[in-house]
Structure 1
Amino acid sequence: MIPVSKRLLANFINICCVLNILLRSVVKNLGVTSVFLVANTCILVSTQPAFAQARQVTGVRLDPTDSGLEVILETPSEEQPQVFKTRFGRTLAIDIPNTQLRLPEDKGFRENNPASGVAQVTVVQQNPNSVRVTVTGTEAVPSAEVIESAQGLALSVRSPSAAAETLPAPPTPETPQAEPPAPTAPSAAGEEAIELVVPAVGEEGYLVDEATTGTRTETPILDIPQSIEVVPEEVIEDQDADTLDDITRNVGGFNQFSSPNYQDFALRGFRLQEDSIIYNGLRGNPFDKFAPLKLNNVEQVDVLKGPASVLYGQLEPGGLVNIVTKKPQEDPFTEVKVAPGSQELAPGVFDQLELQLDSTGPLNESETLLYRLILAYEDSNSFRNFQELKYKSIYPSLTWRIGEATTLDFTAIFYDEDREGQRDRGIAAPGGDVSAVPIDFTTNEPGDIAKSEGSALQLDLEHEFSEDLELEAAARYAQSDYTNNYHEPRGFLDDGRTIKRQYRNQVLSDSSYTFNVNLIGNLETGPVAHKILLGADATRTTSEGSPNRFASPISEDGTVPPLDIFDPIYGQADVPEDYVFDSEFLFESEQFVYGVYAQDQIEFSPQWKGLVGVRYDSFDQEFTEFTTSGDLESEQEQSDSDLTLRGGIVYQPSDNLSFYTSYSEGFSPQDTSDQTPEQGGPFDPTTSEQIEAGVKAFWLEDRLSTTLAFYRITKQNILVADPEDPDRSIQLGETESKGIELSITGLITENWRVIANYAYNDARVTEDTNPDNVGELLPNAPKNSAGLWTRYDFPNSNFGVGGGLNYVAERETDISADENVNLPSYVKADLALFYTVEDLEVAVNVKNVFDEVYFVGGFGETGVFPGAPRTITVNAFYTF
C-alpha cells in the first residue's frame, strides 16, 4: 500500500476546495451536467503570510556529498519556509518567499561547475521578498523533492549525470571531485540553515513536466493556463505506434475523423487536418495531407487544446498538434530496429516488415558539431483488399554549437511512399449498415495507386545575448508531390447495392516557405517578474494540380463500371484506356499569411501567475482554374486581417499544484473555392472563442501528473445554405463544443508507468438556416472516450509487461440525417511483452487482442473506415 503523505493529503484538500468553486461557477456557465461531487467543507493549506517577518539569509555554502551537492542557506530563522519549484530549459528554479539575502557587499551567490552534472548554482534576490536558488544541469534539467532535515528544510535534487549511473538499479555514485567552496559568510551562533540537497535524478517514466508549445517559451506545464498533453517517445515505442493516428488514444478528446491513411482528426469535437499539425513549432506541414505522418524520427507529440491563433495564426478551434523531432546527442550510439509483423486477413505469415537505423554522436573532439541520422523502410500488406505499402525515409540532422551562447540546428526530411490499391475511401454501409460488407471490402481496383514523395529543410538558430535576453529564429522549406489514380465512390444506384464510381487521375504539388523569429526577455517591474515574448511569422504556400482528370459514370451505363458491393467484379475495364474523361482542368492556389504577436508571462508572486497575449494577422489567398489548353476559366481572391487575444491566470498554492482559468480566440479563412460571387462570397473568416478552467497537480513525490479541464468553445461565421437560393451560402452557422477532460501521466511506482485519459465532449450545431440541423452532433466527435496504457517492469528482472484499453463512444458521420451513418462504440485492447538483455531489447506487441470489429470514422454510406484487426509485431532493438 502506498502511504498517504501530508503533502498528498494537502493537495487533495486544496483540490476539493477550488473544485467546489469551479463546479459552482464554471460548470454552470459551461452548461455541462455535473459529474463530480465535491465536499463543501474543506480546509485550505496555509501559505506563508505576506505580513510575516522576512527571514534573513546571511551565508551560502556548497557541500559535496556522495550523491551530489548540498546547497545550504544560513539563516537565524527557526521556521521552515515553503518553496516553489519551476523549470526552464536545463535549469531548476527554487523560489523561497518571505526571504531576503543579506550577503557581504549585497551580492548574490554564483558557483560554476560545482559537481559532475551540475553546470551552475546561483542564489539571488528574485524580488524584494523572495530569494531564488537555481541549479542548472549540464545536459538536462535536475529534478527535486522536498524532505525533512535536522537543520531545517532540505530539497533533494537529482542531477542528470548522476542519474545515468543509477539506472536501472541505483548503485552508489562516485563522489564528485569538486572541493566545497568556502562559505560566503561565517555562521552566527544559533543560526539555523535552509539545506538544499543535490543528488542524482530518477527515471520519470512517461512524465513530461514542461513544454514550449503552449507559450513558445520553456515553461512548466503547471504554469500554462491552458490544457496541453504530451506523448513522449517512451509511449510511442512501448505502444509500437507507427503514425499519428496510433497515439490519439493517449490524448483526451483527440480522435480519428476518417482513414488512418490521411492526416484527419477531431480534437474537442472540431475537425483538425494538416493545417493544424505543425512541425518543430513551425507552420507548413512537410507531409502531404493524404500521406500519414510517420513517427520514426519523433521525440514527442504536443497537443495544445483550444484556439491557439495568438501564437500560431489561422487554426481550427479544437487546437493544434506539434510534432517535435529527435535531435543529435552528445553520447554516441547506433540503434538498429527489425520489426516483422502479421495482420489478420492479410496474406502471408509475416506480411509486414519494418527496418530502421538511428545513429547519433559528435563529429569532432570538442563536441561542438553533433549529428543524427535516421533511416526507415517499410513493406507491408493490409487487411484491405489490394492494398500494399512501400515506404522509405531519411531524416538527417546536425547541431552546431557555434559558441557558448549560439546554437544552430539543421533538420531535414526526405520520404517516398507508394500505396497500391488506394486512395482509400473506406467500405460501403448501405442504409447505414456498417456490417453489410466485410472490412476487407474496397471500391478500388487492383491497379489503383496513391504515390507521395516530399522533403523539408529546416534551420533553427538560438542566441543568448544575456541571461535575460534570447533570440530564436527558424526557417523551413517544404515540398510534396502526390499522385492519385483511383476509383472514387459516388453514391448508390436505385437498387441500393450498386455503387457508381468515378475514376480520378490527379497530380498535386505543394510547396511552402515558413519563417519565424522570437525575442524572449526577462524583466522586473518592482516585485513583479515578466517573461516577454515578441514574435513574427510568415508562411507562403503554393499548390497546383496538373492535370485533374475525371472520368464519371454520369449514369448507370457510364464509362466507369459500377460495383455491386455484395458481388464485386473487378477488372471490368482497362484502366484508363477504356475511360472517357469528361472533365479536365488545371488549378493553382497561393496563400500568404503573416502575423506579429506579443505575450507577457507575469509572476506576481510564487503563488500567482498570469499570461496575456495579442496577435495581428493578415492573409492573402488566390485560387485560379485553367483549362488544359491554359485558358483562364475562373479566379477567386481574398484578403483579410484579424486581431486575436489570449489571457489566463494561474494560482499555485504549492510547488506541485495549480489552478487556472483562461480565455483564447482563434480564426481561420474560408476555403478559396467558396469565395466566388456566384456562391455569395467573398466571406469573412470563421472566428472562435474558448473559456477554460482546470486544475493541474503532481503526486507521489512529483512522479505522477494529473490535469482536469472544463471548457466551452464556440465557432462562428460558418457557411450554411442560403434558404432563398440553395446554390449560394451565407454566414449564419455556429457550432459549440463543451466538455470535461482528465489526463493522468507518470509513474505510480518506480517500475510502474501509466498514461490515461477520459473526455466528455458535447459538440453540436447551435445555429443553422436548416432547423433540422440545429442540435445535431458534429461529425466523428464521440461524446465519451477514454484511453489507458500501462507498463510494469518486474524488479530484478529483464522482463516487463504492458497493456491498454481504448474506448470510443458511438459517433455520427454527418449532421444531415440523409447522409448520416451511425458508427457503433467500441473497446479495443492491446498487449505488449518486453525483454531486455544487455544491448538487445525485444518487444512483442499484440494490437486489438480480441479482434474487435470497429470503425474509426467515416463520411457516409459510401465510405466508413474500419480499424485494423488483430495485429502482432515483434520489435527487436540492438544498440551499440
Structure 2
Amino acid sequence: MRRQHAFTPSLLALAISGALGGPALAQPPIEDAPLLTEDTVLVQGKAYRHTATKSALAPEKTPQGISVVDRETLDQRSMDSVAEALRYVPGVHTELRGGAVGRLDLFNIRGFINYQNFYDGLPLTYNDWNLQPQIDAFALEQVDVFKGPTSVLYGAMPPGGMVNLIAKQPSNQPFHELTLSGGSHDLREGSFESRGALRDDGSLNYSLVALGRKQDGQAETSEEERYLIAPALDWHISDRTLLNLNLYYQQDPSAGIYTTLPASGLFKDNVNGRLPADIYSGDANWNTYDREVLMLGYKLNHELNDDWTLLQNLRFMDASAYQENSYGMGLGADQRTLTRRAYLTDEASRSWAIDNQLSGRLRSGALEHNLLLGVDYTRLNSDIRYEDGEIPAIDLFAPDNHLVRPGDIAFSSSYSSDFRLSTRQAGFYLQDQVRLDRLVLIAGGRYDRYQGKEQGRKYGARADNMVEQDKFSFRVGALYELPGGFSPFVSYAEGFEPITGQDRHGKTFDPTTSQQWEAGVKYQSADRRHQGTLSAFHITKQNEPTRDPNGSPYDKTQAGEVQAKGLELEAKSYLTDNLSLAASLTLMDMAFSKDESGELLGKTPVWVPERQASLWANYDLFEGALAGTALGVGVRYVGKTQMDTLNTDQVPAYTLVDLALGYDLGYLNADWDGARLQLSASNLFDKRYYSCFDDSNCWFGAERELKASLSYRF
C-alpha cells in the first residue's frame, strides 16, 4: 500500500499537541473526532486517560511539563527499549548503567533516579532488589514522560517525574504486520502485530502483539533472549460500558550482564593500556538472569450519564527472577587484577494494583469544572533469597571468563538472606480542572498511607522491620492561552517517597518530601505544524538519607537536602511536507544544599549532566526515483557527569549520531505493496562513552548497533 506521509494530524497527534501546548481552542471529545485517515491508528479508547490529568476528556493545556514519544517516532528510530525511547526527551538521562546492561530501564528525570515505571496508568511494582518488570517497546503505542513531582495522581514517586507506558490497544480497524530483523551481535528477531473486529457490529475488538528476540550481548560470552505475547480484548457491552481485558507475558531466559569495571583502563590512565568495549569482568559459568513476568488486568469504563464516568483499572502480577552474578572488590596494584565475589538472588513477587476513578463535568456560569475523585491501592509480596561467596580474581587485560566452578563457591553465612518483603499503599485523591474562557486552572490534593514490612533472615541476622508512613500532597497550576498559539503557565507540585530503615538511635526514617516550582510557555501554531515548550523548574527534596558524621560509615541520618534547578526546551516542526525536525535542550544545576556530615554539601549527585542536547531530522521522498524513501538522522549530546558522590573526578561528555533509513517497497513494485525495508544504526561512528557510580563501578556505553528489518502489512 503506497502511502504519502505528508503531515495530517491524527487523533494521536491531536492528543499529543494538546499535552504539549495546543492552539487557543478546546478540542472535541475523542468520540466526536474526525474520521481516521488511512494510516491513523486509534489508540485512545474510552478507557484511555491522559497521564498528566487522568482525564478522558479532550486534551486541555497542562501547566506542567510533559513529553510524549509516539509509535511513529518509535518506529522511525527503530527503538527497542524504553531507555532508547527516552534518549531524545529533554530532562531525561538514560543508560545510567551503560549499554551492555539492558535488563532494566534505569534513567533519571530532572536529576532524580527513577526505578519504577507505570504501565497503562498502574505501577509496575518493583521490590527494590533485582526483580523489576520491563516492558518491551514493541508492545507500546506511546511513552509519556510527566515531569516534576507526580504524587498527587500517582502516589510515591521520585520528584523528577514519572514514565507511563501506553500499551497497544484493540481497534475495529483491521491491521496486520509481520516483521523479521537481523543485525549486530548476531541479532535474530521476529515480531507480529494484529488487531481488528471480532464482530461485524464492532462490539468486540482485539489486539495481539508477539515477539521473539535473541542475540549476543555486548560483553564477551553474554547472551540476550526474550519472548513476549500481549493480547487484549475490548468488549463494548453497551453504548456506555466498555470492558477491556489485557494480558502481558514475557520471558527473558538471558539478559546480558550486570557487572561493572574500574574507571582505570576506560577513561582514566592505566599502565596496561585501554580496555576494549566488549570486556567482561564476570564469568560465563556464573552469569544467569532468568526473568518471567505475567500480568493480567482489566479496565471497566462506564458512563453514568453524559457528564459523569466511572473507570476501574486493575492488574495482577506474578513475576520471578533468578540471578547468578559477580562483582568486583577492587583493582590490584598491577592495575589489571580484579578481586571478585559471586552472588545469587532468587526472587518471586506477586502484586495487585487497582485505581478507581470517578470523573465528571460541572458548569457554573462561565466556569467549567472537570472533577476527578480517585482511590487507588497497591499490594506487593516478594520473597527474596541472597547468597554471597568468593571466586577467583580475573586479569582484565588477559581475561579468562571460565574460571568459576559453581560447585566450589563457599557462600558466607554473614551475607545469607532469606526474607519476605511486603508493602501496601493506599491513596485518596481529588482534582479539579477549571476553565474560564482562555484561562485553565488545576488544583489537586492526595492523602497516602504506606506500610512496609520485612520478615526473615537478612545479611545473616534476623529481620523484623515495620515502616508505616503517611503523607498529604497537593499541586496547583495555571495556564493562559494567548492569541497566536502561545500559552504561558506556572505550577507548584509536591511529592514524596517512602523510606525504609532507621538511624543509629533507632528512629524510623520519615518519607522524603519534595516541592517543585515550574514556569514556562507552550506554543503551537494554528495548523499544528510547529509546537514547543520552554520551561524553568526548581525542585527541592528533603529528608535525603546521608552518612551520619557521628556514627559508623554505614549509619545514616536524614539531614540531607538536594536542590535541582534547570531549563528545558523541546520543539517539533514540520518545515515542509518532506522535512520535520525535533530538538531538545536541557541545562541542569543540581547539588546537595544540606548535609549534616558536610561531605556532600555543594556536591552534585552522580549521573547528572549539566548539559544535554539533541536534534533529529526526518526527510521523506514522495516523488522521483527515490520515492518511498524516508531518511532520519539524529545527534545527541550528553555533558560531563560526576564520577562519584564526592566529585573527585568527572566522566567525559560524549556526542553520538544515530541513523534510520526506510523504504516502502510498494514504490518499487506494485506486487510488493505493504512491504517495507528499514535500516538503522545507533552510535553510527562507534564512539566510546561511559557511565560511573564511583571509581570502581563504571560501564561502557552501547557500541555501534546495526539493524535491518523487513516488514509486511496485510
Fold shared per TM-score above 0.5: yes
Q: Partner of 1:236: helix, strand, or coil? A: helix
Unaligned segments of structure 2, at least 5 residues: 1-13, 43-47, 667-672
Match of 2:346 in 1: 507
Residue type matched to 2:248 in 1?
I
Structure 1 residues 723 and 428 mapped into 2: Cα distance closer, same or farther (>3 Å)? closer
Q: 1:374 aligns with which of 204, 209, 212?
A: 209
The Cα shift of 1:653 comes to 1.6
Match of 2:619 in 1: 792
Residue type matched to 1:561 in 2?
P
CA distance in 2, matches of 1:524, 1:225: 21
Matches within 5 A, 1:255-274: 255-256=93-94, 257-259=96-98, 260-261=101-102, 262-274=104-116
Matched, 1:720 2:546: yes
**699-708 vs 456-465, which deviates more?**
699-708
CA distance in 1, matches of 2:49, 2:577: 23
CA distance in 2, matches of 1:611, 1:305: 16
Cα offsets for 1:700-720 (capped at 9, x unmatched): 621221000000000000112
Match of 1:738 in 2: 565
Match of 2:9 in 1: none
CA distance in 1, matches of 2:526, 2:628: 25
CA distance in 1, matches of 2:508, 2:138: 42
Q: 1:626 aligns with which of 432, 457, 460?
A: 457
Q: Partner of 1:640: helix, strand, or coil? A: strand
Match of 2:663 in 1: 835
Residue type matched to 1:710 in 2?
A
Aligned partners of 1:329 and 1:360 also within 8 Å: yes
Q: Partner of 1:235: helix, strand, or coil? A: helix
Match of 1:825 in 2: 653
Aligned partners of 1:286 and 1:455 also within 8 Å: no
Structure 1 residues 572 and 689 mapped into 2: Cα distance closer, same or farther (>3 Å)? same
CA distance in 2, matches of 1:203, 1:459: 21
Match of 2:631 in 1: 801
CA distance in 2, matches of 1:203, 1:366: 19
Q: 1:668 aligns with which of 489, 497, 500?
A: 497
Match of 1:575 in 2: 406
Q: 1:528 aligns with which of 367, 371, 382?
A: 367
Residue type matched to 1:507 in 2?
D
Q: 1:477 aligns with which of 292, 310, 316?
A: 316
Residue type matched to 2:331 in 1?
F
Structure 1 residues 573 and 801 mapped into 2: Cα distance closer, same or farther (>3 Å)? closer
Match of 1:352 in 2: 187
Structure 1 residues 223 and 359 mapped into 2: Cα distance closer, same or farther (>3 Å)? same
Q: Partner of 1:296: helix, strand, or coil? A: helix
Structure 1 residues 498 and 507 mapped into 2: Cα distance closer, same or farther (>3 Å)? same
Match of 2:670 in 1: none
Match of 2:157 in 1: 315
Match of 1:759 in 2: 586
Q: Partner of 1:713: helix, strand, or coil? A: strand
CA distance in 2, matches of 1:702, 1:531: 25
Structure 1 residues 587 and 610 mapped into 2: Cα distance closer, same or farther (>3 Å)? same
Q: Partner of 1:246: helix, strand, or coil? A: helix
Q: Partner of 1:466: helix, strand, or coil? A: coil
The Cα shift of 1:495 comes to 4.5
CA distance in 2, matches of 1:433, 1:849: 20
Cα offsets for 1:796-846 (capped at 9, x unmatched): 3211211110100011132124xx552211110011111111201111112
The Cα shift of 1:869 comes to 1.9
CA distance in 2, matches of 1:331, 1:398: 14
CA distance in 2, matches of 1:598, 1:135: 24
TM-score normalised by length of structure 1? 0.73
CA distance in 2, matches of 1:352, 1:284: 28
Match of 2:8 in 1: none
Match of 1:170 in 2: none
Aligned partners of 1:381 and 1:388 also within 8 Å: yes
CA distance in 2, matches of 1:136, 1:267: 31
Match of 2:11 in 1: none
Alignment RMSD (CA, Å): 2.7
Structure 1 residues 369 and 315 mapped into 2: Cα distance closer, same or farther (>3 Å)? same
Unaligned segments of structure 1, at least 5 residues: 1-84, 97-131, 143-158, 168-201, 205-209, 553-559
Which structure has more RCO (C-alpha within 8 Å, separation ≥ 6)?
2
Aligned residues: 671
Q: 2:598 aligns with which of 763, 767, 771?
A: 771
Cα offsets for 1:262-289 (capped at 9, x unmatched): 2211110111112xx1110112348975
TM-score normalised by length of structure 2? 0.89
Match of 1:47 in 2: none
**565-574 vs 304-313, which deviates more?**
565-574
Aligned partners of 1:413 and 1:456 also within 8 Å: yes
Match of 1:234 in 2: 72
The Cα shift of 1:515 comes to 0.7
Match of 1:28 in 2: none
CA distance in 2, matches of 1:264, 1:846: 22
Match of 1:866 in 2: 700
CA distance in 1, matches of 2:454, 2:278: 38
**225-234 vs 787-796, which deviates more?**
787-796
Match of 1:615 in 2: 446
Aligned partners of 2:24 and 2:482 also within 8 Å: no
Residue type matched to 1:416 in 2?
Q
Residue type matched to 1:623 in 2?
E
CA distance in 2, matches of 1:249, 1:223: 25
Aligned partners of 1:434 and 1:864 also within 8 Å: no
Residue type matched to 1:832 in 2?
A
Match of 2:3 in 1: none
CA distance in 1, matches of 2:23, 2:617: 32
Residue type matched to 1:851 in 2?
D
Match of 2:471 in 1: 642
Residue type matched to 1:312 in 2?
Y
Structure 1 residues 432 and 361 mapped into 2: Cα distance closer, same or farther (>3 Å)? closer
Match of 2:248 in 1: 413
Matches within 5 A, 1:695-714: 695-699=521-525, 701-714=527-540
The Cα shift of 1:544 comes to 1.4
CA distance in 1, matches of 2:703, 2:505: 44
CA distance in 2, matches of 1:218, 1:813: 44
Matched, 1:586 2:412: no
Cα offsets for 1:161-184 (capped at 9, x unmatched): 4x33xx7xxxxxxxxxxxxxxxxx
Structure 1 residues 430 and 680 mapped into 2: Cα distance closer, same or farther (>3 Å)? farther
Matched, 1:392 2:227: yes
Match of 1:849 in 2: 684
Match of 2:89 in 1: 251
Structure 1 residues 95 and 278 mapped into 2: Cα distance closer, same or farther (>3 Å)? closer
Structure 1 residues 876 and 285 mapped into 2: Cα distance closer, same or farther (>3 Å)? farther
Structure 1 residues 578 and 713 mapped into 2: Cα distance closer, same or farther (>3 Å)? closer
CA distance in 1, matches of 2:511, 2:329: 30
Q: Partner of 2:473: helix, strand, or coil? A: strand
Aligned partners of 2:50 and 2:59 also within 8 Å: no
Cα offsets for 1:159-216 (capped at 9, x unmatched): 334x33xx7xxxxxxxxxxxxxxxxxxxxxxxxxxxxxxxxxx999xxxxx9710010
Match of 2:669 in 1: none
CA distance in 1, matches of 2:133, 2:121: 20
Cα offsets for 1:327-385 (capped at 9, x unmatched): 0111112100111112xxx4xxxx10110010111112222111111110001012311
Aligned partners of 1:87 and 1:219 also within 8 Å: no
Cα offsets for 1:443-477 (capped at 9, x unmatched): 11012111111110111111111221111111111
Aligned partners of 1:423 and 1:484 also within 8 Å: no
CA distance in 1, matches of 2:562, 2:347: 32
Q: Partner of 2:86: helix, strand, or coil? A: helix
Matches within 5 A, 1:163-178: 163-164=37-38
Aligned partners of 1:86 and 1:94 also within 8 Å: no
CA distance in 2, matches of 1:704, 1:771: 48
CA distance in 2, matches of 1:690, 1:239: 33
Structure 1 residues 252 and 88 mapped into 2: Cα distance closer, same or farther (>3 Å)? closer
Match of 1:875 in 2: 709
The Cα shift of 1:94 comes to 10
Residue type matched to 1:404 in 2?
D
Matches within 5 A, 1:300-339: 300-339=142-181
Q: Partner of 1:653: helix, strand, or coil? A: coil
The Cα shift of 1:87 comes to 10
Aligned partners of 1:244 and 1:295 also within 8 Å: yes
Structure 1 residues 291 and 217 mapped into 2: Cα distance closer, same or farther (>3 Å)? closer
